[in-house]
């Protein structure tokens, strides 16, 4: 039963993120600068997680032992990676950003290997390669292209993918020890301080009266869904699954984005899109099979 909840949580994360790529570019930098929007996002999420924590039994947090890890996770998982992601999306094409996020599972596998000195299995390597190839081909068919005009934004998104991968590996230890709400409450609160020098001034000089209603709705979606709810669901997934499995669910985003486009009749179905989607699903399935056969993550952290 828990496995089904984990997979449902990770699927919903991919679904929510599939909508974000095109909407983020409509918000920034026309109405809000990226650094201001990131600070608004972190402040909102921190408030929501702290309010939610009031309805749960307060956990005792060993800050003497874990403060440094909380700070590192706040940097890689909230402040730095969000800033680079939105900064990149504001100066590159949304489709490019979606393609570059596909390298996150590869970074996760590399960092996981470095941290735990565990060689990825053949199934994991094949799953990552097939999933990456399928996602890249699907995005290329949808119009992804890299050029001198997008290179700066592309680099920002690529570095964000590496930072997010590092976060997925590092935060596992905290989530094994504390509830996801506790972890997110602390990391987002620390994130406010990290990004404030860049974002606070930008946000305070934003002309909110000039923002139209449809953009406000997209801002609300980003703040409530892809900041608060997505991080909560993702933390639940990371707590009960391997970082590699969590990362590879990112490969579902182009499939879900394509399905949404088909439903809205802004895209059409082709044989190649079906084949590339099947490659992604097969890659995810391979990693899932290996994850089920892997040893207990509780045992892994108890052995460290």
Rounded Cα distance, 42 and 259, in Å = 30
Q: Report how far residue 86's alpha carbon sits from residue 254's, in angstroms, rounded to the nearest whole number.
A: 18
pLDDT of residue 218: 92
Question: Phi then psi for 32, rounded to 5 degrees?
Answer: -135, 135
- Tell me how far apart the alpha carbons of residues 29 and 160 are, in angstroms, rounded to a whole number: 18
**What residue has token string 């909840």?**
5
pLDDT of residue 41: 92
**pLDDT in the model for residue 301:** 46
Residue 53 makes CB contacts below 8 A (sequence gap 6+) with 181, 182, 185
- pLDDT of 298: 42
Per-residue pLDDT, 300: 45
Q: Residues of the chain whose pLDDT is less than 50? A: 294-304
Position 299 scores a pLDDT of 41
Burial class (CB in 10 A: 0-12, 13-18, 19+), 73: buried
Say what the pLDDT of residue 270 is: 77
How far is Cα 90 from Cα 97, in angstroms, rounded to an integer? 10
Q: Note whether 100 and 30 are within 8 A (CB).
A: no
How far, CA to CA in Å, does 298 sit from each of 172, 174, 190, 239, 303? 10, 12, 27, 10, 9
């Amino acid at each position: 039963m828990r496995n089904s909840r984990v997979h449902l949580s990770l699927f919903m994360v991919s679904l929510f993120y599939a909508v974000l790529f095109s909407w983020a570019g409509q918000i920034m930098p026309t109405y809000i600068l990226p650094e201001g929007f990131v600070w608004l996002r972190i402040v909102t999420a921190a408030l929501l997680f702290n309010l939610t924590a009031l309805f749960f039994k307060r956990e005792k947090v060993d800050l003497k032992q874990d403060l440094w890890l909380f700070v590192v996770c706040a940097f890689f998982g909230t402040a730095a990676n969000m800033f680079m992601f939105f900064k990149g999306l504001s100066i590159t094409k949304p489709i490019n950003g979606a393609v570059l996020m596909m390298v996150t599972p590869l970074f996760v596998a590399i960092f996981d290997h470095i941290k735990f000195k565990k060689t990825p299995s053949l199934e994991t390597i094949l799953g990552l390669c097939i999933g990456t190839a399928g996602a890249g081909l699907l995005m290329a068919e949808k119009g992804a292209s890299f050029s001198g005009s997008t290179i700066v934004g592309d680099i920002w998104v690529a570095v964000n993918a590496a930072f997010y991968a590092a976060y997925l590996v590092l935060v596992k230890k905290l989530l094994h020890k504390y509830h996801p709400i506790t972890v997110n409450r602390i990391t987002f609160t620390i994130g406010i301080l990290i990004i404030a020098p860049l974002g606070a001034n930008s946000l305070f000089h934003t002309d909110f009266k000039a923002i139209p209603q449809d953009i406000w709705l997209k801002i609300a979606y980003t703040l409530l869904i892809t900041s608060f709810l997505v991080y909560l669901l993702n933390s639940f997934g990371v707590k009960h699954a391997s970082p590699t499995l969590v990362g590879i669910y990112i490969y579902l985003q182009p499939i879900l984005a394509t399905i949404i486009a088909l439903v809205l009749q802004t895209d059409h179905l082709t044989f190649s899109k079906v084949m590339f989607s099947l490659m992604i699903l097969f890659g995810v399935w391979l990693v899932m099979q290996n994850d089920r056969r892997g040893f207990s993550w509780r045992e892994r952290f108890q052995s460290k």
